[in-house]
A and B are shown apart, each in its own frame.
Chain A
Amino acid sequence: MDIKKILLVDDDYDLIEQNKLILESKGFEVVTAESAEEGFKKFQEELPDACVVDLIMEHHDSGFILSYKIKKTEHGKNIPVIILTSATYETGYKFSTATKEEQSWIKSDGLLNKPIVVEELIAKFESFTKKS
């Protein structure tokens, strides 16, 4: 599957703008959302070929929950959903506020560190396309 349209979800407007510019320079079409809620709405409207979701938005685990929600949809299960974060295992960040049920939802195609390195992102897309 060819990836053309990407949904970018992040509550930090600076990062949305940056990532949008970077991805557009690589020829992708980018749609954006500033919250998990808006992100899911945009996902349903736009049916993008890939999603890049910030981890910590309204909640510490909003990104996880949104990816899970996307992955559960008919369209979502066939596209890569990549979580972007500056909180990583190195910083010891624990998703302590996620309930057990929420944690069991947590599922995505990969975690990427901020800031986006566009080559890494494209590599993730490619490995997903190969798998499917």
Chain B
Amino acid sequence: MPSILIIDNEFPIRKNIYNYFENDGYIIQTTKSGSEGIQLAFSNDFNFILIEQDLTDHDGLRVLQAIKKMKPETVCFIIAKNPSYESAVKAANLGACSYIPKPLSYEGLIFHLRKGEKHRQLYIEALNLRKERHENLLELSREKSAFKTVLNSINGGVLVINKKGELVYYNNASLVYLNVDDLEVGEYIIDRLPNKIIQQVSDYLFAKSYIEKVREIEVEMIPNNKLHIQAVCSHIPKNSNDYSGVILVTRDITNKKKIEQIKSQFVSMVAHELKTPLVAVQGFLQILNNPEIQITDEKRDDFLSRSSDRLGGLFQLVNDLLDISRMEVEEKKRDLENIDFENVVKSVTEFLELDYKKKNITLNLNIKDNLPKIKAEKEDINRLVTNLVSNAIKYNNENGTISLTASSEDNYLMFEIEDTGIGIKEEDKPKVFQEFFRAMNKETRSVSGTGLGLAIVKGIVKSYHGKIYFDSTYRKGTKFTVKLPISKTIYKIKPNYALENS
């Protein structure tokens, strides 16, 4: 049921309008005051409001303005005893549907109300449309931001180029991986890409038809192993033989490359280390078999025994390699025995005596009396000590010192070995126990090895639930500390006294 509010200070007018529309089924309220009219308009939802332009307490146009501001959907009319052109324009600007000069007729008012009804419907329709549009826009921006979030969360760079070579999308990762500072959507992108990528992207961008194949290349973006990327280029299909753009996906493969390098370095190292003794043995055999070369029987025996030594060394290397690979696979089965650590240290240092004397290294042994025994496989402990001592010799300076200390602390046997050698650079410290790792610098160039020694040591210590750590100052020396558990104390189950007493 439509409702009308009449704001007019003239009683006859209010009464007349009331009488006109009451029978037509309108709900009608009237007031002579502008302020009351505003209040009524705010607290009710009138379809129509008729406002006298010259109210006693208010300017009708002000009342119109106030109502329109709060209830823009309400259809308002200005009725004017003293109509003027200026007021009519003002009223229209303030949102009045009509400007109706007095005197009022029933027909005239009916005409205006009908017009007002249409006005109101149009307004509501427009309002709904606007709301819908707003929601659509909201949805769109939500989708856009979701897409952006997804794009930026991808662990890799994504960059989309249209057929004209203009940038359509990109995520932050692609900036990092392509090593460019900033890109702008819409810009011609080809010239902005790094040289190493341009060829690949151009092949796709200037292709005559759709290429089904995806091409990937690996590129060193920042030299010295700072950044390696894999770049994968593909077409975005439009139909079976056309494409709408090119997508470039980039991935950080620096770590993979580093591992590859370490592996290939290891393989060539091993190949060289394996080949060296083989070459020597082969050389001896060739001489022994060469009738042109005359040698004494004594020399002949010497060559045979030296061949045998070289083969022995070769076996050692192969064993090292096998140990390493075995440690990776499973814990080996062991025959544990009680080992006197002092004996092991002494036999190892005796065995390596020639090596450290050659470099004029002083060896200080400081082994506490009554050292507790440890349960282990003798060969393992022997290997552990040998590798550490031989490193302390290899990486020591001429006329240096090696201090060996063995003591017991809590449930551990503590073995410390300190050298006055070349030390370990800060950047190399995290890699010391890595298999195949060998510090490469001026000081270590002369030291040969497989890069397996410390990896084996760490493996052995770990397998006995021990600990190993080191402290090193570059150019000053290194101290390795190994802690091995003395023996596992077996705790007997305590009798339950409470139960016994009861």
Contacts and interface: CB of A to CB of B under 8 A. Distances in A.
Interface residues of B, number: 24
Contacts of B336: none
B275 A21 contact: no
A25 B288 CA distance: 13
B445 interface: yes
Contact of A21 (B265, B293, B445): B293
Contacts of A56: 272
Chain A interface mostly helix, strand, loop or mixed?
A: loop
B234 to A, nearest CB: 32
Interface string B272-294: 10011001101110110010110
A99 to B, nearest CB: 10
Contact of A14 (B264, B275, B283, B293): B283
B440 interface: yes
Contact of B292 (A18, A25, A115): A25
B295 interface: yes
Contacts of A97: 440, 445
A75 interface: no
A71 B355 CA distance: 35
A14 B280 contact: yes
Interface stretch (A38-46, A84-92, A103-111): A84-92
Interface in B251-274: 264-265, 267-268, 271-272
A60 interface: yes
B133 interface: no
Contacts of B295: 21
A96 B440 contact: yes
Contacts of B292: 25
A12 interface: yes
B496 interface: no
Contacts of B279: 15, 86, 114-115
A62 B105 CA distance: 118
A22 B303 CA distance: 14
A92 to B, nearest CB: 5
B310 interface: yes
Interface in A75-123: 86-87, 91-94, 96-97, 114-116
Nearest to B440: A97
A58 interface: yes
Interface in B213-262: none
B306 interface: yes
B446 interface: yes
Q: Which are the 10 A-B pairs with shortest beta-carbon distances?
A: A18-B283, A91-B271, A86-B275, A59-B445, A114-B279, A93-B268, A14-B280, A58-B446, A115-B283, A92-B268
Given A25-B293, A92-B267, A97-B445, 5 more contacts: A14-B284, A18-B283, A18-B287, A22-B290, A60-B445
